[in-house]
Structure 1
Amino acid sequence: MVKFWRKQLEISTHQTNPAETAVNISEVIRQKSLVAYFQPIMSVTGKKILGLEGLIRGIIPGSDQLIAPKLLFDAALAGGLTIELDRACRDAVLAAFHDYHQANPDLLLFLNLDTAIIDEVGGSNYLCDQVRRSGISPKNIVIEINESKALDTRGLSQFVTTYKNKGFLIALDDVGAGFSNMDRIAGLKPDIVKIDRSIIQDMDRIYHKQEVFKSLVNLTNKIGALIVAEGVETRAEAIQVLKLGGQVIQGFYFARPGNDFVLKAELIVKTAEVVDAYKTLLLQELEDYNQKCLAYTHTVNGMIKALAVVDRPDEFDGQLHKCLVHAEAVDCAYVLDESGIQCSDTVGAKNIGACEKLVFHSAKMGVDHSIKNFYYNLIKRKQDTYISEPYVSMATGSLCITYSRVFRLAAQKYILCVDFLETQQPQPISF
């Protein structure tokens, strides 16, 4: 549980100064001088509270002053009492969760486990005994583990298998942060995958984070796991999670952790507001997309009209240069023959050659594009037009989409490929 307890330092209003207070960790454990906090985990599309994540604050015995989590766990480590403190923390969380469980028997408790202790205690039955004594069914308990902190990979796998067989749910925590091993996700077969705040933060504005999140959603879907977006703090981030396939959200946007958490109706109302905002965004994006496609089509039609007047394919380059002089929204353009071989140079408007990184380079005449979607969908599926999803152009490193269209010259079939910059709204241009 160490990770989450330490992460929530800012919620404490009576926190002691670690430099001034020495923690008697033995007394804290003996007197169970601990208080449980909870943060809701929201099923946004289901418009319900899926579960609560439990975390802990230590209290100086005989006072109401909270102990800084780092000080608490550092003291336990120094005193060789990490396992004892971890168990005491779980006892406090399970006891505090009991009333919530009584009010809603379907509610899940996300119970953090210090993965490092698995290397020491292995698959002991202590956790099972704790849960049994609490009167809560294992099916309501989600054991959160951070796989990157476990040194004994085989022991971790055995632990996960053992507790899944006992009816517990397993969640991998902090996925996407630091050195999270993607191979272990498939190997451990978790029920839940929690995506770290480092991926979620500003995901509504950062394209690369969006692609990482989409990849994680695809992976978890394929292994039959549920994805939880952690650390969502803004409506824009929440909407982006929904847009990219996530459905369950945890973070300050819905509620900060607290020791007096109430299953408030306001939380459900807030999920409905997010869903409504997402629907509005979808409609707006659809309208924007339709407008962009009209502009794309106008531009491509004009370019094909210009290419159709030449006598030979070796004149394509000159016509493309003329077309793109004022095409601010075009990254680059080129022509393929019917077999997918590039028969023109890659001609750019503004950004060609702008990227200095050697990994990015424009395709030259003679390059084979026959395995690319913008060729395959036109020729093999006999479509007239293809518009790709946004991607990073290997020509310039810019975010773009490829619009490809079949045209004919002297009874020969060719394909015009135009890469439009996604950062700009294309405007119709005249030729």
Structure 2
Amino acid sequence: MPFADGYDWQDYRENDHAGIVTRESSSYDFPHIQHTKIADGYFSNSIMNCSIAPIPLSPRPAVAEGRSDITIPNQVAFEGFRLASAFQPIVSLSLQRIVGHEALLRACDVAGQATSPVSLFSGLAPEKQMVLDCISHQLHLDNFKQYATGDRWIFLNMTPEVFLQTRHAKTGNTFSDTLSTRGINPNNVVIELLERDVRDSAEFEGAVAYFRELGCLIALDDFGAGSSNFDRVCSLRPKIVKLDRSLIADVTRKSRVRRILPQLISLLHEAGAMVLVEGIESKEEAYIALEANADLAQGYLFGHPEPFCTEHEEVQDSLQLIWQVFDQHGAVNTVRQHQIMAPYINAIRNASVLLAADRPIAEACAAFLALSETSICYLLDAGGRQIGVNLRGNGIAAFPDPRLEPLRDTHRARWSRCPYFRRAIEHFGKVQITRPYLSISSGSLCVTVSVGFLAGDEQRVICGDITWTEKMAPAQQGDFCGATSP
């Protein structure tokens, strides 16, 4: 019966020993679990009282990348289930190619019915769950070694129990031995941990240090789901953070989340991690990941999980198309943003000229205050201290949000740490524009235009807040109908 992802189990014979793979294997020899050994072609474990047998290689060739010399990947039997590997490609958005594969477990009962890994693990006692996790790693590594091409990562999901116990394995049965017997460089192995499984303990830190010293990379999975926080990123110091697929789904529906995503990715970059966006199923979602400066991407757009680590020509074509739209869309947005912001930029620049000529601030800023979306303007000294009070735009209420009344008096306030002040000083005489942020003066989103000027021999910065509206946001990328494949 065909299995999900293209497997066919009809050739399986539980008592057929012909063709059984008998290469060395291990289960990382935990202190409280007798390690799995090969005996007459079968794995055996006396404590678990289970039979774990490599399934004979099918004599029928399977086609991968047009090659007829590739056999069906290795499979193993465990607790009445047949286990197999499935590999989903992971792409670099900048390199525009596949750089790794996540190894996923596929299970099928003797009747050929697929069983989810979650159901399989949840139906086992804790010690058998650990055995299953180790067996799956060995299976994935065997198949990855046989079918992977080039210098790529293999992403291995690991339960927290196995992650903590692995470093205590006896010599000869360590994870390092498991890799070396297969000729796999630890630098090509990425250990995936669910964010919710990260623990603040010396034991967990020791396990992290073990894999890191071995040469493996650590990835934090499902970041952004549930009770995510940066404490786990700081304590684990992963090289890769995988954003939960719910984030990309929210971004496509909510413009506010789309504005926040680049900042989230920027924070993770500053924490020393590459960012992988999961769940990419469309070119639009891939575009959003590219726009937000994500490093890596994974999802059905780039390939479904398959038995082979295959190379898809469509991946490069899709990425080239997304980059083409990104370039075209960026040019269009640059023109559009300039058209929208030009009146405000010109008005604040003219205000600085008039202020430099010692004209009163109300007169100097009159044209700026008359623009439709102007909220306030205000003057700062060389130290970022406010000179005088806020001047409000025409038609703006005295204080739009009464709940912020305690913040109303801004006389002598210090704004020196704000980007609009720092950039105006650094790029003196050139108008600067911020990203959208919450204004404490209006209680709404705004962008600030600012420019430095000389009043006599003293530096000053004139600033103007502009109410942020959706019409000011970058135009959405559309449906890719206007782009053609290279």
SS in 2 for 1:203: helix
CA contact (8 A) 1:12 1:66 kept: no
Q: CA deviation at 1:322?
A: 8.8
Q: CA deviation at 1:100?
A: 2.3
Structure 1 unaligned regions, length at least 5: 1-9, 15-24, 427-431
Counterpart mapping for 1:36-185 below 5 A:
36-60=85-109, 62-77=110-125, 80-101=127-148, 104-119=149-164, 123-124=168-169, 125-151=173-199, 153-185=201-233
CA contact (8 A) 2:415 2:421 kept: yes
Structure 2 CA distance, aligned partners of 1:378 and 1:116?
Answer: 53
SS in 1 for 2:390: coil
CA contact (8 A) 1:119 1:151 kept: no
Aligned-residue sequence identity (percent) comes to 25
Q: CA deviation at 1:261?
A: 6.1
TM-score (structure 1 length as normaliser): 0.77
Counterpart mapping for 1:385-424 below 5 A:
385-405=431-451, 415-424=461-470
Residue 334 (structure 1) aligned with residue 378 (structure 2): yes
Q: CA deviation at 1:93?
A: 2.0
CA contact (8 A) 2:147 2:308 kept: no
Counterpart mapping for 1:243-392 below 5 A:
243-259=291-307, 262-300=310-348, 316=362, 324=369, 327-336=371-380, 340-348=385-393, 353-355=399-401, 358=404, 361-362=407-408, 364-378=410-424, 382-392=428-438
Task: Indicate how the Cα distance of structure 1 residues 143 and 424 shifts in structure 2: closer, same or farther if over 3 A, else same.
Answer: closer
Structure 1 CA distance, aligned partners of 2:298 and 2:112?
Answer: 28
CA contact (8 A) 2:354 2:364 kept: yes
More helix by share: 1
Structure 2 CA distance, aligned partners of 1:168 and 1:308?
Answer: 60
Structure 2 CA distance, aligned partners of 1:55 and 1:379?
Answer: 53
Task: Indicate how the Cα distance of structure 1 residues 359 and 161 shifts in structure 2: closer, same or farther if over 3 A, else same.
Answer: farther
Q: CA deviation at 1:401?
A: 1.4
Counterpart mapping for 1:183-222 below 5 A:
183-203=231-251, 205-208=254-257, 210-211=259-260, 213-220=262-269
Q: Which residue of 1 aligns with 2:59?
A: none
Structure 2 unaligned regions, length at least 5: 9-48, 52-76, 473-486
SS in 1 for 2:111: coil
Task: Indicate how the Cα distance of structure 1 residues 411 and 255 shifts in structure 2: closer, same or farther if over 3 A, else same.
Answer: same
CA contact (8 A) 2:376 2:466 kept: yes
Q: CA deviation at 1:58?
A: 1.7
Q: CA deviation at 1:12?
A: 11
* Segment drifting more, 231-240 vs 65-74: 231-240
Task: Indicate how the Cα distance of structure 1 residues 297 and 133 shifts in structure 2: closer, same or farther if over 3 A, else same.
Answer: same
Structure with greater Cα Rg: 2
Structure 2 CA distance, aligned partners of 1:350 and 1:417?
Answer: 19
Structure 2 CA distance, aligned partners of 1:166 and 1:338?
Answer: 52
- Residue 343 of structure 2 aligns with an amino acid whose one-letter code is A
Structure 2 CA distance, aligned partners of 1:246 and 1:113?
Answer: 24
Task: Indicate how the Cα distance of structure 1 residues 298 and 11 shifts in structure 2: closer, same or farther if over 3 A, else same.
Answer: farther
CA contact (8 A) 1:362 1:396 kept: no
